[in-house]
């Protein structure tokens, strides 16, 4: 597609439920990143995928968070047993794999009630 | 100390003014320096990126990097109300996390007609 597509755009869930957030990167982009943006914290790196290689998970805040990328394309971020502090905007970005900046999606706004 | 520091503002200027936005950083290993613009409820949009010290100009926007002082700037000439947004500086280096970005917290800019 023309840009990075994320779904859903908004998600309200009850505390303790699991959620799945989807990212469809720009076609041909080998690198994919997930970030979290919350009030007062700014944008925080979560996880990095390069092609079909094992991801770098060093930014994931707890073992309740996991992500996968199928076929080197679409990625899913899963949060298990959601907590109120997980409320944030989750942003996905993709790039050709070089250092010149990358393209973000519009994000999924997650609210845990 | 956070690796990237940015004054959150808000910054309010009249239409037509020159805007100066700045960030400082502590990690001398950063290689790429970027400015993103973010409108409310949208993902960050890449405005400028530079590699190494110096100036880069694109239309009304000029990015400056001073690696010796660990200081980057974005100048906006002839500012317009449509420039009202949050401006995020970001920087990266090649690591196990690819080119994961370290963001400032963003400066909120309001350009008044």
Contact B43 A107 (CB under 8 A): yes
* CB of B61 less than 8 A from some CB of A: no
Question: Rounded to whole angstroms, how far apart are CA atoms A80 and B70?
Answer: 40
- DSSP lists the bridge partners of residue A31 as A50, A95
What pLDDT, in 10s, does the model give residues B61-76? Answer: 999 999 999 999 999 9
Distances (CA, A) of B109 to A8, A81, B10, B94: 29, 37, 6, 31
Let me know: does B45 contact B15? Beta carbons within 8 Å. Answer: no
What is the pLDDT averaged over residues B88-107?
89
Beta-sheet pairing, B11-14 with B107-112: parallel
pLDDT for position A99:
67
* Segment-wise mean pLDDT, segments of 10 residues, chain A, 113 residues: 90 98 94 92 91 89 95 93 97 84 94 97
Closest partner residue to B46 (CB to CB) among A48, A56, A103 is A103
Can you give the C-alpha Rg of chain B in angstroms? 14
Contact B101 A43 (CB under 8 A): yes
pLDDT interval class at B37 (50, 70, 90)? very high
CA dihedral A38, A33, B24, A37 (to 10 degrees): -10
Let me know: does B43 contact A105? Beta carbons within 8 Å. Answer: yes
How many Cβ atoms sit within 10 Å of the Cβ of residue A42? Answer: 20
pLDDT interval class at B1 (50, 70, 90)? low
- DSSP lists the bridge partners of residue A90 as A36, A108
């Amino acid at each position: 597609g023309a840009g990075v597509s994320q779904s859903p755009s908004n998600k309200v869930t009850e505390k303790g439920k699991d959620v799945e957030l989807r990212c469809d990167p720009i076609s041909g982009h080998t690198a994919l990143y997930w970030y979290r943006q919350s009030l007062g914290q700014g944008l925080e790196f979560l996880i990095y995928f390069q092609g079909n290689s094992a991801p770098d998970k060093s930014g994931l805040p707890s073992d309740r968070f996991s992500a996968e990328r199928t076929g080197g394309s679409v990625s899913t971020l899963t949060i298990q047993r959601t907590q109120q502090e997980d409320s944030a905007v989750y942003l996905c970005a993709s790039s050709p794999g070089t250092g010149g900046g990358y393209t973000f999606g519009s994000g999924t706004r997650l609210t845990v009630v | 100390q956070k690796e990237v520091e940015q004054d959150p503002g808000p910054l309010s200027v009249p239409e037509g003014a020159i805007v100066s936005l700045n960030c400082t950083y502590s990690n001398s290993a950063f290689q790429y320096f970027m400015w993103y613009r973010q409108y409310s409820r949208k993902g960050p949009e890449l405005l400028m990126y530079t590699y190494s010290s110096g100036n880069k100009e694109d239309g009304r926007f000029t990015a400056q990097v001073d690696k010796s002082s660990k200081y980057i700037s974005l100048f906006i000439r002839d500012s317009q109300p449509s420039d009202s947004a949050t401006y995020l500086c970001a920087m990266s280096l090649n690591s196990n996390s690819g080119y994961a970005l370290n963001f400032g917290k963003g400066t909120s800019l309001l350009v008044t007609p």
